[in-house]
Structure 1
C-alpha cells in the first residue's frame, strides 16, 4: 500500500469510488472490496432475497401474459417490456457475482496497478477529471430516481398500481394496495436505479483508464521537450540514460493500462451485449406504446420516462466508451510526434517509441461481447434498429385495424 502522503495515495483518493461501492454493497449487488475478506454468507443471503423478490415480480408479469394472451396487443407489449427489464437485471446481478473478484481489482486499480506511475503533477488532473465524472454520474443517478418516482405515481392497472400484476391478495383494499405499491417501489428502485448505479461504477472504471491514457499522453509529449533542455546542461550519455528510463516507465504504464482494459472487457462484454439488446427491445416497445396507446399527457410521460431511462443507460456507456477510444487514438499521435522529435536518439530508444506507437494504433475500446465497440456511433445504430422494429410493429397494428 502507498504511504499516506505519497502521490499514489493522493491519486487513489482523487479516484475514490466509495460513493458507488457503498450503494452497491448495501443493496446486495457487489460486495465492497474492503469487505471481501469477510464471510460472504450474509451478503449472499441478502442477494438471494433481492433476487427472489425480482423473480416473483417477473413471475407475476408472466402470469398476466398467460391470463391475457395477445388479445390486447398494448397490454402484451407492456408486459413483455417490463419482463425484459427484469430479466436483464437478474442476469446482471448474476454476472456481477461471477466477476466479483475482477471488479474488486478494477475498483482499486489506481492505487494498485498505476501507483508506481503517478507523480504529484498528475494529481490535480486526476482530481479535476474525477470531480467532473462524479458530478455527471450523480446527475445521471438522480435523473433515474426522478423518472422512477414519476413512473410509480402514474397508475396503469385497475387498482391504481404502476404495474399490471397477478397478486395472491386483493389490491383494491387499502392494506392490500399499500403492500402492492411498496412491492412495486422496491422492485422498480432496485431494478432501475441500481442498474444506473452499476452502470456508473462501470463507466467510472472506463473513465479512470481514459485518465491514465491522458496522463501517459502528457508524459510522452514531454519527452522531446525535456530532452532538448537536458542536453543544454547535461552530458549526452546522462540525458539519453534518463530518457531511456522515462520511456521504459511509459511503456510499462501503457502495458498496465492495456491489461486492465482487457480485464474490464472480459468483465463487461457479455453483460453489455445483453444490456444493449434489452435496451434496444425496450426502446422499440416504449416508442410503440407512446405512439399507439398513450392516453393523455400522464401516460405519455409514464412511457416517456421508461424510454428515456433505458436510452440513458445505453448512452452513458457509449459516451464514456467513445471517450476511451478517442484518448487511445491521441496516444498514437503523441508517440508519433515523439518519434519525429527525437531523430538524434540512439536506435534502441527510437525502436521502443515505434513499438509503443504501433501498439497504440489499435485503440483501446470496450465492446458489447465483441460484436461492436461502445461508441456514440453504436448508440445511434441501436436507436436505428429499435426504430425499424417499432415501424414494423406499428404497421402490424395498423393492418389489424
Structure 2
C-alpha cells in the first residue's frame, strides 16, 4: 500500500494536470471571450479608488502565482533529495514509475533522477498555473462586486454630483442611468462567473475528488495502530513477568485508538471522509449547474 500510495500521488497529479490542460485546449475560444470581457469599460472604471482596487487585485494575483508555483518547485526538489540521500548511503532506491534502466548504475540513476525532477516540476507548475488562473478570475469577480457595492452605496451622491457639474442634466434621468449601469455591471459579473463555471466546472469536480483522495492516502500512510497491536502480540510475551504482561495489555488497548489526523481538529482524514468529499463535491457541482 505504501508503494501504491507513492505511485498514485504521482499518477493523480498527472491526471489533474491533463484534465485541466484538455479543458484549456478544448475551451480556448470560450476562455478568450471570458478574458476579453474583462476589458469592458465597466470592468475598468476611471475613478482613482477603483483603479487602485484593480491594481491591488493584479498584484495579489501575481503573488499567488509566484508563491503557488514556487511551492510546487520546492516540493519537487524535496522529492529528489531523498533518493539522493538513499543512493549515497548505499540503500536501495525505488522510483514511483516504471523504467527498464538499471538505476543502480550512477549514470542511469542521474538520468532517471533528472527525468523525475523535470516531469514532476513541469506537472506541478502546470497545475499551479492553471489553478492560479481560475483563482485570479474569481478574485477579479470579487473585486468587481466590491466596486459595484460601493457604487450602489454612493449612487445618490454620484447623481447629485453629475447634476451640479452639468445644469442641463435632470436628476431622475441621471439616477436611472447610473442605476442601469450598476445593473449592467452586475450582469457582466454574473456572466463571467457563469462562463468560469461552464468552462472549469468539470475539472474543479475532478480536482476536489482527487485532492480528497490524496489527503486521505496521506493520512493512511500515518496510520499504523493495528500493526502495533500485531507487533506486541507477536513478541515472546508468554515467558515475560505478569506485571510486564499487564503493561502490554494496556499498550494494546491504547493502540486500538487510531492515529487519525484531522483537518482543523474536526474532520478526520479517512476513507469515509473521502467518500463524503466526493458526495459533497458532486452535490455542489449539481447545484451550480441548476442555478447557472
How far apart, in 1, do the equivalents of 2:166 and 2:21 lie? 58
**TM-score normalised over the length of structure 1:** 0.51
3-state SS of the aligned residue for 1:108?
A: helix
1:72-87 equivalences under 5 Å are 73-87=1-15
CA contact (8 A) 1:88 1:274 kept: yes
Tell me if 1:104 matches 2:32.
yes
How far apart, in 2, do the equivalents of 1:233 and 1:263 lie? 39
Tell me if 1:123 matches 2:51.
yes
User: What count of residue pairs does the alignment treat as equivalent?
Assistant: 230
Q: Cα–Cα, structure 1 residues 222 and 93, in superposed 2: closer, same or farther, change >3 Å?
A: same
Gaps of 5+ in 1: 1-72, 294-379, 393-401
Report what 1:198 is aligned to: 130
CA contact (8 A) 2:6 2:96 kept: no
1:265: how far off?
A: 0.5
1:172-191 equivalences under 5 Å are 172-191=104-123
1:30-45 equivalences under 5 Å are none
Report what 1:91 is aligned to: 19
1:83: how far off?
A: 2.1
3-state SS of the aligned residue for 2:269?
A: helix
CA contact (8 A) 2:30 2:199 kept: yes
Gaps of 5+ in 2: 226-262, 275-292
How far apart, in 2, do the equivalents of 1:230 and 1:165 lie? 67
Tell me if 1:137 matches 2:69.
no
Report what 2:198 is aligned to: 266
1:252: how far off?
A: 1.2
How far apart, in 1, do the equivalents of 2:35 and 2:162 lie? 38
Deviations 1:109-136 (A, max 9, x none): 321x345762233212211232133223
Q: Cα–Cα, structure 1 residues 170 and 219, in superposed 2: closer, same or farther, change >3 Å?
A: same
Deviations 1:174-216 (A, max 9, x none): 2211221121112211222220111111111111111111111
CA contact (8 A) 1:89 1:195 kept: yes
3-state SS of the aligned residue for 2:82?
A: coil
CA contact (8 A) 2:69 2:129 kept: yes
Deviations 1:337-366 (A, max 9, x none): xxxxxxxxxxxxxxxxxxxxxxxxxxxxxx
CA contact (8 A) 2:14 2:123 kept: yes
Q: Cα–Cα, structure 1 residues 273 and 74, in superposed 2: closer, same or farther, change >3 Å?
A: same
Report what 1:252 is aligned to: 184
Report what 1:214 is aligned to: 146
How far apart, in 1, do the equivalents of 2:106 and 2:137 lie? 46
CA contact (8 A) 1:78 1:289 kept: no
How far apart, in 2, do the equivalents of 1:249 and 1:170 lie? 68
Q: Cα–Cα, structure 1 residues 192 and 225, in superposed 2: closer, same or farther, change >3 Å?
A: same
1:233-244 equivalences under 5 Å are 238-244=170-176
CA contact (8 A) 1:86 1:191 kept: yes
3-state SS of the aligned residue for 1:170?
A: coil
CA contact (8 A) 1:209 1:257 kept: yes
How far apart, in 2, do the equivalents of 1:391 and 1:243 lie? 52
CA contact (8 A) 1:285 1:390 kept: no
Deviations 1:370-396 (A, max 9, x none): xxxxxxxxxx79x93x7131899xxxx
Alignment match of 1:148 (pick from 61, 76, 80): 76
Q: Cα–Cα, structure 1 residues 86 and 231, in superposed 2: closer, same or farther, change >3 Å?
A: closer
How far apart, in 1, do the equivalents of 2:164 and 2:128 lie? 54
1:279: how far off?
A: 0.7
